[in-house]
Amino acid sequence: MTDAPTSQKQLLHLVIGGELKDVTDVEFEDLSKIDFIGAFPNYKAAYDAWKSAAQRTVDNAEMRYFILHAHKLLDPETGSHHHV
């Protein structure tokens, strides 16, 4: 096993979007139509992807994109025991 150069620790961020039922709330109109932009190793990469997606859909007020700080939801203590 080779060691990768020690850059910064991966902090998983997910970028998703979809049409909201109401722009004053975060409830999606149709979860089956969620636009999954991708998973990114840090906030900057996620932000760049979020900005690009948001700019593409700027004419649709109900279409919103979000950055999820998934690294804050991952628990290595419990996650390591779940096998799929």
Query: Tens-of-pLDDT digits for all 84 residues of the chain?
Result: 455 455 678 999 999 999 999 888 888 999 999 999 999 999 999 999 999 999 999 889 899 999 999 988 877 666 544 444
The CA–CA distances, whole Å, from 1 to 4, 5, 8, 44, 76 equal 9, 13, 19, 29, 21
Is 54 part of a structural domain of the chain? no
Domain count, the chain: 1
Range of the domain at 14: 10-36
Burial 47-57 (b: 16+ CB within 10 A, else e): eebbeebeeee
The reply to whether the predicted model has a pTM over 0.85 is no
Helix (H) or strand (E) segment spanning residue 55: helix 43-56
Question: Tokens standing for 82?
Answer: 């779940």
The answer to whether residue 57 is domain-embedded is: no
